[in-house]
Structure 1
Amino acid sequence: MTGLMQGKRGLIMGLANDRSLAWGIAKKLREAGAELAFSYQGEAIEKRVRP
């Protein structure tokens, strides 16, 4: 599946932590070559999702 999303951009909404559905989707899209942006709710969540 590598390269299938090459050159595509996506917005992942509702990211909560590394066990969320949004995280799993983002991981697979990134592996396929997509460039991603994320949204999350509040500063408390930001601490859990920032690399």
Structure 2
Amino acid sequence: MLMKDKKGLIMGVANDRSIAWGIAKSIAKQGGQLAFTYQAEAL
């Protein structure tokens, strides 16, 4: 597993169709640990 024991910060996950979500799925599948950030809609 390429990402085993590695940590990653995924920024900009808007929904399950975003590029960031696809990257996160790939890293998780390869054994990486993830943290996420996102910006909610403006108030």
By percentage of residues, which structure has more strand? Answer: 2
Number of residue equivalences: 41
TM-score (norm 2): 0.89
> Percent identity among equivalent residues?
61
| CA RMSD in angstroms, aligned pairs only | 0.9
TM-score (norm 1): 0.76
The list of structure 1 runs, each at least 4 consecutive aligned residues, that deviate by more than 4 angstroms after superposition, is: none
- Structure 1 residue runs of 5 or longer lacking an equivalent are 45-51
- Structure 2 residue runs of 5 or longer lacking an equivalent are none
State the match for 1:48 in structure 2.
Answer: none
